[in-house]
Amino acid sequence: MQGRSRRTLFIGCCTACSAEEVAGKPVPKQDLSLHGLSASLSLKDLSVSLRGSNLHVFTLAELRTATQGFSGGNFLGEGGFGPVYKGVIGERVRAGMEAQPVAVKLLDLDGAQGHREWLAEVMFLGKLRHPNLVRLIGYCYENEQRLLVYEYMVKGNLENHLFHRFTSLPWSTRLKIAVGAAKGLAFLHGAEKPVIYRDFKASNILLDSDYTVKLSDFGLAKDGPEGDNTHVSTRVMGTQGYAAPEYIMTGHLTAKSDVYSFGVVLLELLTGRRSVDGKRPSRERNLVEWARPYLKDAGKLSQIIDPSLDGVYSIKAAQKAVSTASQCLSHSPKLRPQMSAIVETLESLLDFTDGIVGSLVFSVEPDNDGDEANEKSPRIAEINLETNLHFSHTEMRAGNGFLRHPLFSEKLKK
Ligand SMILES: Nc1ncnc2c1ncn2[C@@H]1O[C@H](COP(=O)(O)OP(=O)(O)O)[C@@H](O)[C@H]1O
Ligand SMILES: [Mg+2]
């Protein structure tokens, strides 16, 4: 079971303001779409705002049926704002409803923030549609209860795949995830009314059966600055280790804050290390601080690349990816690239094949014990490194290049 993920409140200040305002010349407040939506918004107001979004409005009883009474066996995970359960909607829940698996998030309404985050998710995900954003199917707003119903993502979140599994994600899968996540952010930043995601991290990146990325958890998302405004000033919310330093210091939020967080996740994918890891020696606890000295020098790749990749990756692509991460993590937001440029760079890396061995062919010699009459012939085993790396690096490749997996623990000859 996954514990509550870190989400930290740093400082407070809560309006949208511009460069002029900061310089002491107030300008009229902008009309952000979440502005004016009070905490006491009625169900009617909500359905008017979401007209045309085709969201289902569920009752609590229906969602109880869908999740078998929010049973422990259906528990999927928990972030800062409540548990998420697997469920199935369909005829049994409501007559005529198409059957499909769903994930149901139950908001923990301790404090006013809970309702606001719930509202932000409904409003953003209700309106935005993109292959790399999780689809919101509906919601429940009943008395004090606030729930959200999403499409179910079979492979759960990226954090679990990177840090809680014995198996290691292959290089091509890591790149695919980086590209998908970058496309999700690029879509938000490039929307007609740009959106800043604000809580980009591995536990908010969900994965479908084929590792297609869908960003979830829009509770902290914000409308981007409009007109002459250079940033949105807001209470600093986010997750330590992922949030951009200037945002933590000033509360000034821009799309480039998301780009910094993207750089952190890219570094997690490349190094296999967590953004903050209390179990490591103090100098290595903060991933960005530890990695910085290695980022500018392509020759130092081997010192930061995830050893569990076991050398099976394109060196050229990894060097470019490290350089992209380095740009995203620039101290100056202006030097960080736009997400659309990052998509282009990372997509081009998918074509690099140096260092990636398509498959290894082994001949497995049977132990015939000198019995020539009944001699068994060698068996040929072929392992596709990209698809079968889930046998894990330690099992698959000993230092001498032979397999160690139990299937091949007989005498091996390359
Ligand atoms: N649609 C989904 N499909 C599968 N698992 C999900 C889904 N949504 C959330 N989860 C699981 O629940 C966890 C918490 O969800 P999240 O939306 O991030 O909640 P919070 O707002 O509390 O952080 C995720 O990290 C993931 O493991
Ligand atoms: Mg979350």
Q: How far apart are the first and last CA of the chain?
A: 41
Active site residues: 199
For residue 163, is pLDDT > 90? yes
Average pLDDT on 32-38 reads 46
Judged against a pLDDT cut of 60, whether residue 351 lies above it is answered with yes
Residue 141: half-sphere exposure toward Cβ, Cα within 13 Å: 20
Between these two residues, 83 and 114, which has the higher pLDDT value? 83
Choose which residue among 136, 216, 218 to substitute to test ligand 1 binding: the one with the highest number of ligand atoms within 8 A of its C-beta.
Answer: 216
* Residue 379 banded pLDDT, cuts 50, 70, 90: low
State the chain's mean pLDDT as an integer: 81
What is the pLDDT at residue 396?
A: 43
For range 41-49, the mean pLDDT: 71
Residue 184, pLDDT score: 98
Closest CA to 340 of 189, 221, 214, 225: 189
Domains and CATH numbers, the chain: 8-151 (3.30.200.20), 158-349 (1.10.510.10), 356-413 (no CATH)
Measure 122 CA to ligand 2 centroid, in angstroms. 15
Top-confidence residue, 302 or 108: 302
- Whether the per-residue pLDDT at 78 is higher than 70: the answer is yes
Choice from 81, 109, 115, 217 to test ligand 1 binding pocket (greatest atom count within 8 A of CB): 217
Taking CA atoms only, the protein residue closest to ligand 1 atom 17 is: 217
Residues at CB less than 6 angstroms from ligand 1: 5, 76-82, 84, 103, 105, 134, 150, 152-153, 156-157, 203-204, 206, 216-217, 219
Residues 182-212 have pLDDT tens digits of 999 999 999 999 999 999 999 999 999 999 9
Residue 363 banded pLDDT, cuts 50, 70, 90: low
Range in 170-179, 268-277, 345-354 the model is least confident about: 345-354
CA distances from 325 to 268, 294, 319 (A): 10, 11, 10
Lowest model confidence (mean pLDDT) among 22-31, 68-77, 234-243, 317-326: 22-31
Which helix H or strand E contains 119, and what residues bound it? helix 113-127
Per cent of the chain over pLDDT 70 is 74
Beta-carbon count within 10 A of 131 CB: 13
Distance 106 CA to ligand 1 centre (A): 10
Name the region of 273 (left: φ>0; alpha: ψ -120 to 50; beta: rest): beta
* CA 133 to centroid of ligand 1, rounded, Å: 13
| CA torsion through residues 14, 18, 19, 24, sign | negative
To the nearest whole percent, how much of the chain has pLDDT over 90? Answer: 58
The stretch 7-16 carries a mean pLDDT of 43
Residue with CA at minimum distance from ligand 1 atom 20:
79
Distance between CA atoms of residues 264 and 239, nearest Å: 11
Sign, Cα dihedral of 325, 326, 329, 335:
negative
**Residue 233 — very low, low, confident or very high, per pLDDT cuts 50/70/90?**
confident
pLDDT tens across 255-277, in order? 999 999 999 999 999 999 999 99
Higher pLDDT, 375 or 292: 292
DSSP 8-state code for residue 133:
B
Q: DSSP code of 281? A: -
Query: Cα–Cα distance between 194 and 173 in angstroms, integer?
Result: 29
* Residue 370 banded pLDDT, cuts 50, 70, 90: low
- pLDDT at site 314: 94
Please tell me the distance between residue 150's alpha carbon and the centre of ligand 1 in angstroms.
9
Q: What is the number of the ligand closest to the CA of 137?
A: 1
